[in-house]
Structure 1
Amino acid sequence: MSLDDTLARLRPPEPPVLPNLKTFAAAAERILHRWPDVAPDPPERDREQLVLRMEAHRVEERWDGVRMSLVTAAARAVFDATRRGRPDLADLRGFYLAEIRASHRTTFLGAMVSVYLESFAPDAPHTRALAEALSGARDRLGARWRTLVEGIPEVFRPDLAPEAIARRMVGMRSPWPELKALGLRAPHAPGLMDFVHDAYVARLKPHLTVRAEIEQLLSWLKPDDQAVARSSGAPAAIEALLGHWRTGNPPEADIDLITRSLVAFYGDPRVQQGGAWASVASDCLAVILRWLTGKDIRFFMDVVSAVEDSHMWEPRRRFWLKLHAQRRIDAAWVAFSPSGAEYARRLLKTGEVRGVVSYGQQTAGYSRANTSLLILKCGNRIVVEGSHSYKVHIFREGHPHAPALYQRAYDCEQIRLVPGAESRSHLGDWQGWVEERI
């Protein structure tokens, strides 16, 4: 045997190469993200049958072949908003409570923690009963739920849990991932987290004049890894963000952040039908409409100034922005000509214009193909400003043919020919003429 062979035999074996644990961790996280709880969430159409099957097993004491998936799915159904108060299911609910007190099966106990969190209502008898039973079982819970109980000891105190979690969230740099690390794998889930959200927004509300606090609330409403923003409790959060600015404005960068984020989350309040905006208080809704109005006026003037070579645009820009600053313009909407729309898209694509910009189209052709329109609501008047020597037109609100704001398309020639409108070219004291009529 050669020396090399001898040394090879004497050389200690190479340690085994361990797989990259990051791959497994990422796979586990994907599974937990898709199926955050061990209790199946049955569709409503199946729930009554699940409850009846579980009740039959309980009454007959027949458990051979019963799968844990049936037990946990039926638990979700029997404690949901439709069934948790039904007298005929009282014994079945009592059965689940007794099992929590006696069971050592972490799968079952974890499922019942999920049921408690999802069906949570602070003053409801079922919540208090589940909390009492689970509190007694805390030493028998699996690792995930023990982490939650250790991190938030009040979680099984219905009177304290929402405020305790909200208080903890205020001190977090990023509540979404930190709550998930504590064991709350679905921080936007209904139930307990609805009450936590309300308490959290209430705690942040006095401080939402500070950029960092604004960013924290926005990141909670829509974390980066979520496709959609939180909808439950959204009106209260929107009001908390906007309510400070009923009579003033934050820095322009904060206006841009708030408007851009809220419109991305919940749609443009000027054109969105229903949704979160439908329940926002009118005085708070007026704040974001005011901000969007200012952006529309500036954007209209910037685009038209670029596509029409006229010395008249700078005084017109100053006039309309002055009226906006004086809060004499309640709302605004833009309809660009094809050339104006092309330039607008270029500004948005290159990032020269930031924030929320929505607009319609001006569709008249021939000599008016390049005309763009700015449609304004000023008190009980609708004012139409236009480029390329288009006169200012003023309609009384309620006029049957006055142009409405927020439409997708306008024909400036049809507007010009509507009877009953007052109109004037941009000569002489046209600004005083406008101010007298609005």
Structure 2
Amino acid sequence: MKLAALLKQPPGFNPPALAEPAQLRAAIGRVLARWPDIVADPPENDREKLVQEMLRRLDEDDWSDLPTAFVTKAARALFDPLRRSRSDLARLRQFYVEELSVSTRRSFLGGMASVYVGSYEPGAPHTRALASALQAARSRLGGRWVTLEEELPEWLDPVYAPEIIAARMTKMAHPWGELKAMGFSAPHAPGLMDHAHLEFVRLTRPVLSHRSGQERLFGWLRPEGQEARASGAAEAISAILGHWLARDPSSEDQRYIIENLVGCYGDPRVSASGAWAGVPEQHRAVILRWLTGENIRFFLDVVSAVEESHMWEPRRKFWLSLHEEGRIDGAWVAFSAEAANYARHQARARSGQSTLRYGLQTAGGSRVNTSLLVLKIGNRIVVEGSHSYKIHIFRANSHHAPSLYQARYDCEQIRLSAGVDARSHIGDWQGWVRERI
């Protein structure tokens, strides 16, 4: 075939052996790190055009002015989930497999290796065909694929490669970095690594009640300087939270898990889509319960610091006791500007980042420093406040009741709402609250 000729080196071509000085190796490493795949991932609206153009050229035996980059880009489209099983494209897929078996062009071989990794589906016909052709071409691969061959020859196993990779990952202190060093330039890439990730989560699940297991998994989900892994995130979140359906970790471990999950995937109360959408309700309920307690403590810690008052200790005991009784269904904080500034500084000092979300209290004048704690307790909405702000209780179905998880609240608007019970923190105010909830 003429394409085969294009993708082969000329007959008798023997490239001279060149020294590989350290500077050259370093330059190669930088290039591979910046462009981990030599196959461009084409936009969805271009994919069918690419495939049809390759099909036309195959029908007409027309390989003129055809760059290797176009051939491998079309392969990415041809072996994507929408096209890799289409019967009308079977002969084009077979054509690629045959070319892969005979080509000596390293750019094409490397591109097809990348297509194999990115389209990997254990045991699928296209995976078996690509794996078989690449196994025959092993000695002709170059670049990072040589390193991968040396470190993990099982990467071309069309059925068990994910399990083998995952088993190796469980022995790594830092799976993402160690996989990169083995030759996986993009360890979070789809295909083979999606399946390896799910198997890694399954194998790691038994140790996720311990800090060491949690640290390894969080280090894999969001390596330093990288975005959090999106594919398979719900399974990872569920594996972590599954240990705490009937019991709670220590307060230190609970905070560690909250900071990492919210840091990776956002607050499930305000970003219920994405990774959290795939987490079972009973598992989401665990972190929602934890976040309720964290928000109550967060509010009490901050307002106790910015407003000196002997009243905060009994308030702390009362609201936390209700939470421990399981009475509080949800909690949200709206800080004044002063309190929000203090909260940001404290969060950065503790962990370098602020993962707990909160709203802002926007009333000015004499209420400029007031902060609010908004609670859902059964069929009631309860609003606690700082700086001598009364407790306000609404029926949850009242259109005057403030909603939880809002960005802004006006404490004066709440105070002046119709149909609200309000009381100062004097006398038996705790009994008054209990009677109404």
**Equivalent pair of 2:344/2:354 in contact (CA under 8 Å):** no
Residues 349, 192 of structure 1: alpha-carbon distance in 2 compared, 3 angstrom cutoff: closer
Residue 211 of structure 1 deviates from its aligned partner by 0.9
Equivalent residue number for residue 170 of structure 1: 170
Matches of 1:344 and 1:68 in 2, distance apart?
55
Letter in 2 for 1:176: W
In the alignment, what sits opposite 1:205?
A: 205
CA distance in 2, matches of 1:353, 1:382: 33
Q: Quick check: 388-397 or 163-172, which moved more? A: 388-397
Residue 38 of structure 1 aligns with which residue? 38
Structure 2, unaligned stretches of length 5 or more?
1-18
| CA distance in 1: counterparts of 2:103 and 2:180, whole angstroms | 26
In 2, the alpha carbon distance for the partners of 1:280 and 1:379 equals 24
CA deviation string 1:231-261 (max 9, x = no partner): 1111111111222112322233322222222
Q: Structure 1: how far apart are the matches of 2:336 and 2:225? A: 38
**Which residue identity is paired with 1:69?**
A
Q: Which residue of 2 aligns with 1:6?
A: none
Structure-1 separation of matches of 2:291 and 2:26: 41
Superposed, 1:82-93 pairs within 5 Å as: 82-93=82-93
Q: CA deviation at 1:273?
A: 4.9
State TM-score, norm by structure 1: 0.88
Matched, 1:129 2:161: no
Q: Which residue of 1 aligns with 2:70?
A: 70
Q: State the partner residue of 1:179.
A: 179
Equivalent position of 1:387 in the other structure: 386
Secondary structure at 1:382 match in 2: strand
Indicate if the aligned counterparts of 1:256 and 1:354 stay in contact, CA closer than 8 A: no
Q: By how many angstroms is 1:314 displaced? A: 0.8
Alpha-carbon separation, structure 2, partners of 1:352 and 1:76: 42
CA distance in 1, matches of 2:292, 2:209: 21
Q: Distance in 2 between matches of 1:43 and 1:364?
A: 48
Which residue matches 1:264? 263
Say which is worse superposed, 342-351 or 294-303, in terms of deviation. 342-351
Contact 1:347 1:353 in 2 (8 A): no
Report the number of matched residues.
419
Deviation digits for residues 298-356 of structure 1, max 9, x if unmatched?
22112222333322111111111112222222221111223333433443354499863
Give yes or no for contact 2:295–2:331 (8 Å, CA) kept in 1: yes
Distance 1:402 1:198 in 2: 43
Query: Taking structure 1 as reference, are residues 62 and 188 closer, same or farther at Cα in structure 2, changes over 3 Å only?
Result: same
d(CA) in 1 for partners of 2:34, 2:345: 39
Partner of 2:381, secondary structure, is strand
1:163 Cα deviation from its structure 2 partner: 0.9
CA–CA separation in structure 2 for the residues paired with 1:108 and 1:354: 44
* Match of residue 214 from structure 1: 214
* Alpha-carbon displacement from aligned partner over 1:161-198 (angstroms, at most 9, x marks no partner): 11111111111111112112222111111111111111
Distance, in Å, in 2 between the alignment partners of 1:354 and 1:97 is: 49
Q: Return 5+ residue gaps in structure 1 as ranges.
A: 1-17
With the length of structure 2 as denominator, give the TM-score of the two structures.
Answer: 0.89
Structure of larger gyration radius: 1
**Residue 274 of structure 1 pairs with residue 280 of structure 2:** no
Aligned partner of 1:9 in structure 2 is: none
Question: What's the counterpart of residue 282 of structure 2?
Answer: 283
Rounded Cα–Cα distance in structure 1 between residues aligned with 2:26 and 2:432: 67
Q: 2 CA distance for matches of 1:26 and 1:408? A: 48
**Closer/same/farther in 2, CA of residues 349 and 182 from structure 1, 3 Å limit:** closer
Question: Could you tell me how far apart the structure 1 residues matched to 2:148 and 2:353 are?
Answer: 41
Counterpart residue identity of residue 430, structure 1:
W
Q: Judge conservation of contact 1:292–1:356 (CA < 8 Å) in 2.
A: no
| Rounded Cα–Cα distance in structure 1 between residues aligned with 2:350 and 2:173 | 29
Aligned-pair RMSD on alpha carbons? 2.4
Aligned pair in 2 of structure 1 residues 268, 352: CA closer, same or farther (>3 Å)?
closer
Contact kept in structure 1, 2:36 and 2:185, CA below 8 Å: yes
Secondary structure of the residue aligned to 1:334 is: strand
Q: Deviations over 1:113-143 (max 9, x none)?
A: 1111111112422122222222233333335
